[in-house]
Structure 1
Amino acid sequence: MMMNLFSSFDPLTNIFNLSLNWLSTMIGLTLIPMYYWLIPSRSMMIWTKMIYTLHKEFKTLLGLYNHKGSTFLFISLFSFILFNNFMGLFPYIYTSTSHMSLTLSLAFPLWLSFMMFGWINNSQHMFAHLVPQGTPALLMPFMVCIETISNLIRPGTLAIRLAANMIAGHLLLTLLGNTGPSMNSSLISMLIMIQILLLTLEFAVAIIQSYVFAILSTLYSSEVI
């Protein structure tokens, strides 16, 4: 019996006394061998087209000074988060992206590497970035404090945004599903329709949140060049 509503997001819950929840993080790797078929399927063609579109968009965001192959880092990040978000939509599969230990593990190393690269190689540009152009001299100390704080909280906002959005929809689905046994047949049919609509919304949220995480990471990297 589930004593706590958040226990469905607890990585310590087990199946047959085996802690197998985090294995869902690697289920997306099973789709990789499909790329090695000589004649790709239609789904692989759609996925390749989407990756090529993301590559062009990330290349535009990175600007003229992007290094060759740098867009593949963010495409891989997008794919990894997208697979894990979709895995959470299946019943009895643990949503790893709803836990801060995974989202912060993705956001913090990226942000730290961008900051180290920027301050070591482009320190003058990083100092200039702390004061936006056209700021009055009186407000410059305050702007430095504000920009420094906004820089420091970036990994936290990235991690919390992804985890909170994935938790919110799943909690709503769980709460509505738990009210089913106490309803009559006419209300249950309405509940099923609402659940289907919410599941469609969660499908869109899974795509949007992975895209937002990858886009913001790309924008943060373009600021240090």
Structure 2
Amino acid sequence: MMMNLFSIFDPSTNIFNLSLNWLSSLLGLMFFPMIFWFLPSRMTIFWNKIFLILHKEFKMLIGTHSFNGTTFMFISLFSFILYNNFLGLFPYIFTSTSHMTITLTLALPLWLSFMLYGWINNTKHMFAHLVPQGTPPVLMPFMVMIETISNLIRPGTLAVRLTANMIAGHLLLTLLGNTGNSLSSFFLSLLVITQLLLLMLESAVAIIQSYVFTILSTLYSSEII
């Protein structure tokens, strides 16, 4: 008997006590045909257009003073999260982005590297960010405390936002799917339609959340330059 509803998201697949759930993060490579790597197929052209749009947007957000190739790091991050979000919508495939193990591993090193670079190379600039322009002198100590706390919780909010959105949709699909055995034919057809609509919604959420995670990381990086 399942004592905890969220236990369905626990890693459980293992061989010789080795957890294989996290291998789902590598399944995206199996969806690329071999010809994808050699000839510019329609899929390649489609992704190149998306990458070009993302590159222009990230370049605009980071600014002209960024290092060459910075945008490609964020494009790779977007692709990785997007693939894992979509793979989790397939039956019996472990959704790695629904766990803090993956999301915090992505968010924490990014935020930590931004902070270290900013405080070492642009110390005055980082201090200036703690007090917004036009703040009255009386409120400056409080603004420093508020800005410091909001800065420290950034990796946590990035990780929790992605994890919570991935779990919420999957949990709703699971709850509705488990009621199918006890429904009549009419309500079962309604359930199938509802599940398909929710699956479309989850596909949109998978794209949006990968974009939000990446765009917020880009905005955080733009503050240190």
Shorter-chain TM-score range? over 0.9
Match of 1:48 in 2: 48
Whole-Å Cα distance in 1 between the matches of residues 34 and 57 of structure 2?
26
2:148 aligned with 1:158: no
Partners of 1:85 and 1:206 within 8 A in 2: yes
TM-score normalised to structure 2 length: 0.95
Partners of 2:62 and 2:221 within 8 A in 1: yes
Match of 1:183 in 2: 183
Match of 2:13 in 1: 14
TM-score normalised to structure 1 length: 0.95
The 5-angstrom pairing of residues 1-225 of structure 1 reads: 2-11=2-11, 13-14=12-13, 19-30=19-30, 31=32, 33-38=34-39, 40-225=40-225
Deviation at 1:36, TM superposition (A): 2.1
Change (3 A) 1:49 1:222: same
Local SS of the residue matching 2:19 = coil
Please list every run of 5 or more consecutive structure 2 residues that lacks an aligned counterpart in the other structure. Answer: none
Residue identity over aligned pairs, in percent, reads 70
Whole-Å Cα distance in 1 between the matches of residues 191 and 141 of structure 2?
55
Change (3 A) 1:16 1:108: closer
Partners of 2:36 and 2:43 within 8 A in 1: no
Deviations 1:37-81 (A, max 9, x none): 22x221221111101100000000011211110000100000000
**2:154 aligned partner, one-letter code:** R
Change (3 A) 1:179 1:117: same
Partners of 1:34 and 1:44 within 8 A in 2: no
Q: Quick check: 43-52 or 215-224, which moved more?
A: 43-52
**1:170 aligned partner, one-letter code:** H
Local SS of the residue matching 2:94 = coil
Deviations 1:120-175 (A, max 9, x none): 00000000110000000000000000000000000000000000000000000000
Whole-Å Cα distance in 2 between the matches of residues 193 and 169 of structure 1?
16
Deviation at 1:22, TM superposition (A): 0.8
Deviations 1:15-47 (A, max 9, x none): 677632111011123338554222x22122111
Please list every run of 5 or more consecutive structure 1 residues that lacks an aligned counterpart in the other structure. Answer: none
**2:192 aligned partner, one-letter code:** I
Q: How many residues align?
A: 223
